[in-house]
Amino acid sequence: MSDIRQKTIMQLFDEYWTTMMRCWTAQEKIMDKSLPESERLKWAIRAQEQNAKRTELIRVLDELFGYGDTTNTTKTYHTYFEKTNNG
């Protein structure tokens, strides 16, 4: 793969959407209970790899559009488990 920062904006968008679909497909396979655990593990690894690639693409696109310092690319699902004032 060539240096990601040398790609055009349209190449980056194309790669981003392709990566998103690969990540989504891998996540669907992880949840497919009809697959053996070993196969689901392979898909879990692929999902993680694709998610890392997606994050890298987001960072590069954000930098190109001037949002490199403000966009949150960290995982936020942990907030669902935090206690609230009402809980």
Question: 18-56: per-residue pLDDT in tens?
Answer: 999 999 999 999 999 999 999 999 999 999 999 999 988
Whether residue 22 is contained in a domain is answered as yes
Whether residue 2 is contained in a domain is answered as no
Based on its alpha-carbon atoms, the radius of gyration of the chain, rounded to whole angstroms, reads 16
Whether residue 4 is contained in a domain is answered as no
Whether residue 57 is contained in a domain is answered as yes
Could you give the number of structural domains in the chain?
1
Helices (H), the chain: 9-30, 37-64
Q: What's the domain range around 54?
A: 9-81
Confidence class for position 76, pLDDT limits 50, 70, 90:
low
pTM score above 0.75? no
Name residue 79's amino acid: T
Residue 26, burial from CB neighbour count under 10 angstroms (0-12, 13-18, 19+): buried
Does residue 1 have a pLDDT over 50?
Answer: no
Which two structure tokens, joined as six digits, stand for 46? 């692929």
